[in-house]
Amino acid sequence: MREEAALLSALPGSAAIIDADGEIIASNENWNRGKKCSNWLGIEKTSTNYFEHCKKAIEHGNDYALKLLFGLREVLEGEGNSLEMTMAQNGDSKTWCKVSVSKIESSEQIALIIFDDVTANMRAIHLLRESEERYSQQFQYSVSGIILGSPSGEIYDANPAACKILGYSKEELIEGGRELIVDETSPAHIEMLRVREDESVFEGEKEYIHKDGHTVPVEITSVIFIDENEGLKVINTFRDITLEKQVEHFLEEERRFTKTVLDSIPGIFFVLDSKGKLIRWNESIEKELGYNEDELRTMSILEIFKENEREKAEEMFNNAYEHGNNGFVTQILSKHNGDRSFHMYINRFLSEDEEYLVATGVDITEFLASELERERNFALMTQLFENSPLAMVMIDLQSRVQKVNNGFSALFGYEPVEVIGKNVNELITSESTINEAEEVSRSAISGQAHQQETLRLTKHQNAVPVLVSTVPIWSHGEVIAAYGIYVDLTEQKKLERDLQNSLNDKNLLLQELHHRVKNNLAIIAGLLELQVIYESNKDVKNKLEEAHSRIFSIAKIHETLYQQKDVVQIEFNEYLDSIIGSMSYVAGEKKFSITREENTEPFMLNLNQAVPLGLVINELIQMKSTDSSAHSHSVNINLTCAGNDVQLEIDGFEKHIEELESTDESYTFHKLLIDTFIKQIDAEVSYSRNGTNSVIIRFKRTEDLRGSSSALTSRDDLFNK
C-alpha cells in the first residue's frame, strides 16, 4: 500500500484505488480534499465505498454517475482494461472533467480512477463546435492572423492574414512548422510555452520571424484545446503591432525628448492644473530645492515659497489665470541652500479645454548680490572721484568730458559747466602737445592704461607740469569710457631742482675734498721719499719705502676719484695699473718686474673695497721685494670679475706662502696688515703650490660696505696681535 500511495501522490489529478466491492483502499491528497473534480458527481462523499457514492448520484439524476458505475464494474470484472469519459459538473457545460479508469495488474481485483480538470480544453472545443461555420468564415477573412497547430510545433493550417503578416504561403508554413517563424531558444518563447502549458492559454506579446528575416511584433492569444478526436491542438490568433510599436517608440522618444528639454531649462520649471496641483516639473526643482518626487506630488506649490511670500505668490498665480501671464521676484525655500531669490515667469495655456499654468524660475540670488555689490562699488567710486584731491576727468569714446571733480576745477580753473561735453584735449593742451594728448586718449580708449609727465594749460593759459595717468573703463568686455588723472608736479619739480643744485654742490665739495686729501698724501709721500734719499741706514730706508708705498696707494685712490664724476666708485682696472706703475722704482732697484693679465672687462669697485684691496696688493708686492733669495724676480697679477664675484690672483711667491698660511700669533707687520685689509672686504684667501705659488683672494662686490676703517680695532689691539 505504501508504494500505491506514493504512486497516487505523483499523479497530478484526483486519484484513488478501488477494489471489487467499490471500497476506496487508497487515495491522494487532491482526492481527499475534493480537488481536481473528485466531487463532480453532484453530491458530497459520505462513505468510503465509491459504488455507494455513484448510486446516490444516480438517484439524483446524474447520468455520468451511471456510466462511471458501469464502467468501473466492467474494468474490475475484467470485461475491459480501461475507461475514459469527459463529463460536465452537474450538467453545467462551463466546467469539464476527464475521468480515466484503468485496471491494476494485481492478485486482487482493483482499479485506478483519476479525475482531471479539462475545462479550458472543453471550452475551446465547445466554442469551436458551436461556431464552426462562423469560425470558418472568420478564419478566412479575419484581419488577425490565425494558425492551427500542435503543442509540439506542427502547423496544420494558416489563414490569409497570417500568411500576409509573415510573408509565407500556407503551404510553406505547413511544411516548415513553428521553427520556420519562431526562435525556439528565445526566453520569451520559452516563457510563453510554460504559461500555456500551465494555464492552457497564453495572452500577451511575442515576436515572429518574417520570411525576409525581420522580426514582427505581434499581440497573440494561444490556446490549447482537445479536438473531436480528443487530440491536443493549438490555435494562435495574432495581429501585427509593428505600427503600434513604432508609435509607442515614437511617443517614448517624444517623452524622453520632452523630459530632456525640460531638464535642460535653466532654473526650476513646473506645470500646475486649474486646481493648483503640480502635474509636471523638471529635475532642477528636485536638485536645487531638495524636494523628492513623493513630496512634490502631494504638496501645494505654495509650500516652496517663503512663508511671508506665499500670499503674494498665490495672488500672482491667480492673476496669471485671469490675464494669461505674470512675472515677479520672490523668495523660495531650498532645503540645500536656505532662502533663495528667484525671478518667476508664469504663462497660462489651454489643453483639451483645461487651463494650466507653466512657470519657470531663475535663481538670481548671486545676481542680486553682485548687483548690490556693484551699486556699492559705484557709490564708492563716485565718492572717490568727487572727493579725490587729484584732478580727475571722465571722457567718452570721442574724448568728450562727461564729468570732472573738484580737484580738476581747482587745478585748471574750469567750472564743470564750462567743460562738460567738450574735448578735454582742446581745453588744456597747447598746440605743441595736442597731438601727443590725442594719442594718449586713443590709447586709453583702445584699452591701454598710460602714464607720462607732460605740461597742461590752465584756463588762463598757464603751463602746469603734471603726471597724466589714463585708465580705460571696461563694461562687458568693451571700453565705454576712460579716466584722466592729473597730478600737479609744480612743487615736486621745484624740490627736484633744489635737490639737484644741492647734489651738485656736494659733488663739487667731495671732489675738492678728494683733491685736497690726494695733495696732502702726496706731500707726505714726497717727504718720505726725500727721507729715503738722505737716509743711510738700510733697514730704516726699507721701512720708509714701505710707508711711502702705502701712502701712495691711498693717494692714487683719491686722485682717481677726483678725476671721475662718480665720487664713491672707481674703475679698479685703471687704479690697479696706476699702482703697478708707481712701484716701478721698487722693481728697478729689486731687479724684478710686475705684470697684469688683461683678461677682464673694466669694472667699478666701491671706494671702501678698492682702498683695502689696493693696500693688500701693495703689501704682497712689498713682501715679494724683501725675498732676495727668490728664484723668480717677477710678480704676475690676474684680476677677474664675473657679475659680482671678484677674484685676484698674484703668483710668483716662494718663501712667503708658509708665512701667509700660518696661524702663529707671531705676525709680521705685512701679514698683520694683509689680514686686517682682507677682513675689511669680507674676502676669502687661498693658496696654491701648483708651481706658481699663488695667493688667491675672492670676494663679492657691494655698494653698501662700511667705511674702510671700520674693520680696524683699537691701537692696542692692532699692535698686540
Full residue range of the structural domain in which residue 331 is found: 269-363
Q: Is the pLDDT of residue 94 over 70?
A: no
pLDDT digits (tens, 9 = 90+) for 468-482: 999 998 888 899 899
Q: Is residue 339 part of a domain?
A: yes
Q: Are residues 604 and 681 in the same domain?
A: yes
- Three-state secondary-structure class, residue 90: coil
The Cα–Cα gap between 482 and 487 comes to: 16
Q: Are residues 281 and 202 in the same domain?
A: no
Q: Are residues 304 and 424 in the same domain?
A: no
Domain count of the fold of the chain: 5
Pairs from 279-287 (Cβ < 8 Å, separation ≥ 24): 279/356
What pLDDT was estimated at residue 591?
A: 47
Domain-ending residue, one of 347, 363, 379: 363
CA of 70: how far to CAs of 42, 85, 647, in Å? 18, 12, 140
Q: How do beta strands 354-363 and 338-351 pair?
A: antiparallel
CATH number, domain of 701, equals 3.30.565.10
Domain-ending residue, one of 363, 390, 414: 363
Q: Are residues 700 and 715 in the same domain?
A: yes
Q: What is the dihedral of CA 168, 171, 172, 174, to 10 degrees?
A: 110
CATH number, domain of 473, equals 3.30.450.20
Q: Is residue 532 part of a domain?
A: no
Q: Is the pLDDT of residue 24 over 70?
A: yes
Within 10 A of 2 (CB to CB), how many other CB atoms are there? 7
Q: Which three cell numbers stand for residue 75?
A: 474494468
Q: Are residues 574 and 708 in the same domain?
A: yes
pLDDT digits (tens, 9 = 90+) for 589-599: 444 567 766 65
Q: Are residues 327 and 387 in the same domain?
A: no
325 φ, ψ (degrees, to nearest 5): -160, 165
Q: Which three cell numbers stand for residue 187?
A: 526566453
Q: Is residue 173 part of a domain?
A: yes
**DSSP annotation of 179:** G
Give the amino acid at 433.
T
Q: Is residue 196 part of a domain?
A: yes
Give the total residue count for the chain.
721
Of the listed ranges 414-418, 463-467, 626-630, the one predicted with least confidence: 626-630
pLDDT band per the 50, 70, 90 thresholds, residue 711: very low
Q: Are residues 142 and 69 in the same domain?
A: no
- Three-state secondary-structure class, residue 318: helix
Q: What is the mean pLDDT of residues 372-397?
A: 85
Domain-ending residue, one of 465, 488, 511: 488
Q: What is the dihedral of CA 396, 399, 405, 408, to 10 degrees?
A: 170
Q: What Rg do the C-alpha atoms of the chain give, in angstroms?
A: 61
Q: Are residues 390 and 359 in the same domain?
A: no
H-state helical runs in 424-479: 424-428, 434-445
Q: Are residues 327 and 398 in the same domain?
A: no
pLDDT digits (tens, 9 = 90+) for 670-682: 778 888 888 888 8
What pLDDT was estimated at residue 586?
A: 47
Q: Is residue 555 part of a domain?
A: no
Of the listed ranges 195-209, 369-383, 413-427, 592-606, the one predicted with least confidence: 592-606
Q: Report percent pLDDT > 90 for the chain.
A: 18
- For the chain, first and last CA: distance in Å? 135
Q: Whole-number mean pLDDT of the chain?
A: 81
Q: Is the pLDDT of residue 178 over 50?
A: yes
CB 126 within 8 A of CB 93: yes
- The closest of 537, 526, 607 to 569, measured between CA atoms, is 607
Which residues, 6 or more positions from 561, have their beta carbon under 8 angstroms from its beta carbon?
A: 510, 511, 514, 567, 568, 570, 607
pLDDT digits (tens, 9 = 90+) for 224-254: 988 767 688 999 999 999 988 888 888 888 8
Q: Are residues 187 and 91 in the same domain?
A: no
Q: Is residue 544 part of a domain?
A: no
Q: Is the pLDDT of residue 692 over 60?
A: yes
Considering the entire predicted model, what is its pTM? 0.36
Q: Are residues 612 and 703 in the same domain?
A: yes
Q: Is the pLDDT of residue 491 over 70?
A: yes
Q: Are residues 629 and 717 in the same domain?
A: yes
Which residues, 6 or more positions from 223, have their beta carbon under 8 angstroms from its beta carbon?
A: 120, 124, 196, 200, 201, 234, 235
